[in-house]
Amino acid sequence: MVKYVRSSSTRTRNCLKCVEMQKIESDKMLSLDVPTRWNSTYLMLDTTEFEKAFERFDLYDGNFNSFLATDVCEDGSIAGSIQNKDWTNVRNVTKFLEKFYELTLKVSGSRYVTCNVHFEDICELDAYLKACMASDEVDLSKMSSRMKEKFKKYWDTPEKMNKMLFIASVLDPRNKFIYVSFALEELLGEEKGKIVNNEVEAYLKKLFAIYVSKYAKGSKNQSSSSDLSDSSTCGLSQNVKINSLRTKFYMKKQKEDSGSLGVKFELDRYLLEDQEPEFEDFDILIWWKVNSPRFPVLSQLARDVLAIPMSSVASECAFSIGGRILDPFRSSLTHKCVQCLICVQDWLRQETKPICVEKVWSFLKKLNWRWQIVEETLPLLIYD
């Protein structure tokens, strides 16, 4: 239906008339599916509010029903008229894909911290797939099962995972090890989850020890210093009768011992404190900035870990192959030419020896391609 409406400006205007007639208020427009962009499928399907407009579209276009009755789908079947169950399926698929679409946009953000929430989102996605697999909707359950198998390829082998993902979640004061331990057991199973949790804890302590050796001497814990005021005063009162030089020496040694003790247990103190409450406007960078006097060394560690982005490119660049081919200087290629470029690029990369395009020019002519496509594509390949 979307393909039919978007094929001409007249049909698009007729669709807008149907939207106005049905008094549908929406800022969305019909988005055409793009084969090289998976998220375009979601954007195309996320137009179920136009259901009533499509039901009346044949009043403005007499060829609409005949098109649906003769249009051949990708599986070889005839599209036919759209039924209520079809709209139900569209809503189910749209709701299913929405989780992946939102997660992709969230992870690919560049103006906020992403590494501390990535592991949490992955665990939520795992729970969502399990719930969909147990759904009564047969199609949704099958689709979820297939995606769950692909999900396991990346998240079922903890020995291949970067432990920084888990450490970043631990450094989120809303999570700490309380949440991470539970999430690992839910994701990997109780036995494997405990093993990974112990490995992450040991890795974090080892990493913290490196930061202690680097920053502990140059920075003093203000909270420890404030706590030392009473003990220093007590030490002074106990040594009133001792000469001033020995008193200074005693006070300096007591401060150094207590200060090193505070740095040593800084990580333990952070983990034992209660978790921060969950609220929408929580800013983890501000939290660590405010609490840096209490955790001077650990805040340095959090600053470096939280600065790691989960993705350095936008979602469109990560999932769109066509975006790397259709640049501003090459924006008039047909979809067949784009497909040829992608295929030949993959073939060239699989070759162990470099290929000279000029030498195989005669061979390319014999291929079962339209000569116009080859003539248009080949100069671009040589240029690339």
Nearest to 375 by CA among 348, 324, 336: 336
Listed range (29-43, 172-186, 187-201, 212-226) with the worst mean pLDDT = 212-226
Given a cut of 90, whether residue 361 has pLDDT beyond it is no
Residue 300 is which amino acid?
A: Q
End-to-end alpha carbon distance in the chain:
37
Residues in the chain: 384
- Residue 384: the pLDDT is 47
DSSP string, 226-262: HHHHHHHHHHHHHTTTS-HHHHHHHHHHHHHHHHHHH
Which has more pLDDT, 13 or 218? Answer: 13
- Residue 326: the pLDDT is 64
pLDDT in tens, 166-191: 999 999 999 999 999 999 999 998 89
Q: Which two tokens stand for residue 183?
A: 């999430």
The 10 Å CB-count burial string (b at 16+, else e) for 339-360 is bbbbebeeeeeeeeeeeeeeee
Q: Which two tokens stand for residue 205?
A: 């302590």
- Residue 226: the pLDDT is 40
Nearest to 148 by CA among 137, 156, 136: 156
Given a cut of 80, whether residue 217 has pLDDT beyond it is no
- Residue 337: the pLDDT is 80
Q: Please give the Cα distance from 163 to 190 (Å, whole number).
A: 18
E strand or H helix that includes residue 323:
none
Question: What's the mean pLDDT in 275-286?
Answer: 88
DSSP three-state, residue 78: strand
- Residue 167: the pLDDT is 94
Q: Please give the Cα distance from 163 to 202 (Å, whole number).
A: 11
Contacts of 176 (CB under 8 A, 6+ apart): 170, 270, 271, 275
Question: What's the mean pLDDT in 330-341?
Answer: 75
Q: Please give the Cα distance from 101 to 94 (Å, whole number).
A: 10
Q: Please give the Cα distance from 56 to 43 (Å, whole number).
A: 22
Is residue 299 within 8 Å of residue 260, measured between CB atoms? no
> Where residue 322 falls among pLDDT bands split at 50, 70, 90?
low
DSSP three-state, residue 221: coil
Listed range (3-7, 192-196, 373-377) with the worst mean pLDDT = 373-377
Q: Please give the Cα distance from 195 to 19 (Å, whole number).
A: 57
- Residue 222: the pLDDT is 41
Contacts of 224 (CB under 8 A, 6+ apart): 258, 259, 261, 262, 263
DSSP string, 97-150: HHHHHHHHHHHT-SSS--HHHHHHHHHHHHHHHHHHHTSS-HHHHHHHHHHHHH
Question: What's the mean pLDDT in 187-197?
Answer: 90
Nearest to 19 by CA among 32, 6, 29: 29
Average model confidence (pLDDT) across the chain: 77
Contacts of 184 (CB under 8 A, 6+ apart): 158, 166, 193, 194, 196, 197, 200
Question: What's the mean pLDDT in 218-240?
Answer: 42
Is residue 65 within 8 Å of residue 79, measured between CB atoms? no
